[in-house]
Structure 1
Amino acid sequence: MTDTYFFGYGSLVNRETHDFAQTHCARLRGWRRVWRHTSLRPVAYLTVVPDATTEIDGLIAAVPGHDWAALDERERAYDRVAAAHQVSHALPHLPEIALYTIPEGRHDPATETHPALLSYIDVVVQGYLREFGEAGAQHFFDTTDGWDAPVLDDRADPVYPRHRRLTADERAFVDDQLHARDIRLLRR
């Protein structure tokens, strides 16, 4: 049986948000992250959309026992699609690799009534800082669209269920990146 993996490009890059033990840094070609919302959730979150000119970093993780049920539940707003031919990694073999995306037409841009959560951004950026360093976290910001979306500042009382506490340096990095993009913060 062929190994099965998923490619994580958002919160799944932060190893503290899951218990997938077998993870590896990887790069996905032909996709770009974007902040979007659907009718399934009251806030915006990341998805990927096809973009032939972009490559994004992330993690691949083995799906234990080929059991996709728990991961499909966690990512229930998304469709799982095959992506093995678009992922480069250091594994010595070619596993099946899937990624989660919301198909075009089933998501809309983030809005004031569907903002991105700062607690979610914190988790994602913390993952990129720890896996890829500051250059990798900068690349995350540069290869993600939708930064014109408002961001709900929920750090004091996080809404995101898998929120994590950031170090002072991690927090400063996130804040500096948001400030550089003139992100409008909404207060709770």
Structure 2
Amino acid sequence: MSEPYFFGYGSLVNRQTHIYTPAYRARLSGWRRAWKHTQGRVTPFLTGIRDEGSAIDGLVAHVPGGDWAALDLREEGYDRHAIPSGLVVEGDPALAAQVYAVPVVSMVVQDDPAPILLSYLDVVVQGYLREFGEVGAHDFFATTDGWDTPVLDDRAAPRYPRAQVLTGSETAFVDARLTEYGVRVV
């Protein structure tokens, strides 16, 4: 296919946060996720990082009208990378896509790291639960680094601009994983 597609591995897995269709479940080898702090941002980003021994699930979606500028604006702070190999897409194994990742040069280490927004994490996990079930959501946690970063409980007043309402079971799943991973919730 010559149409432009992107691979989303975080909030873009949650179809409620975007209008990008068609979208297909996919797996990208040679990558994993990490929570990273960057210059000019208070809260950490979820980013893809290259890791030859890992693979992550996500969605591949069409870039409407080939308008990368609009998607680049949503993904401000990330660079876009062509995926030369390692992408397996449900429904179209030959589909080519690009992936967004925070540039290494903009990553910073904070002595007292700012917390991950729980409203952001909730959106991501809700997407994984709905697309890949509990197994896929467990895999999200297992293939993501940075769980030593605290999480800010902002559910009552979400700070994440694309926050979603979770079901009781989705909320319980997120909370149980945070406990399992020893994440400090503030």
Q: TM-score range by the shorter chain?
A: over 0.9
**Which residue does the alignment assign to 1:47?**
47
DSSP 3-state at the match of 1:96: coil
- The Cα offsets for residues 88-146 of structure 1, whole Å up to 9 and x where unpaired, read as 11344633300000122321356645211000000000000000000000000000000
Asked if the contact 1:37–1:107 (Cα under 8 Å) also holds between the matched residues in 2, the reply is yes
State how 1:75-86 maps to structure 2 within 5 Å.
75-86=75-86
State how 1:20-169 maps to structure 2 within 5 Å.
20-92=20-92, 94-109=94-109, 112-169=112-169
TM-score by length of 1: 0.94
**Deviation for aligned residue 1:7:** 0.2
**Which residue does the alignment assign to 1:14?**
14
1:185 has 2:182 as partner: no
**Deviation for aligned residue 1:41:** 1.9
Structure 1 residue runs of 4+, over 4 Å off? 109-113
Which ranges of structure 1 fall in alignment gaps of 5 or more residues? none
CA distance in 2 between counterparts of 1:113 and 1:14 reads: 26
- The Cα offsets for residues 10-68 of structure 1, whole Å up to 9 and x where unpaired, read as 00000000011200000001011000111232101200111000000000001111110
Taking every aligned residue pair, what percent have the same amino acid on both sides? Answer: 53
**Higher mean Cα deviation, 31-40 or 126-135?**
31-40
Aligned residues: 186
Asked if the contact 1:110–1:150 (Cα under 8 Å) also holds between the matched residues in 2, the reply is no
TM-score by length of 2: 0.95
> What is the one-letter code of the residue matched to 2:38?
T
**Deviation for aligned residue 1:70:** 0.8
DSSP 3-state at the match of 1:176: helix
> Against the structure 1 CA distance between its residues 169 and 112, is the aligned structure 2 distance closer, same or farther, given a 3 Å change threshold?
farther
> What is the one-letter code of the residue matched to 2:183?
I
**Higher mean Cα deviation, 99-108 or 67-76?**
99-108
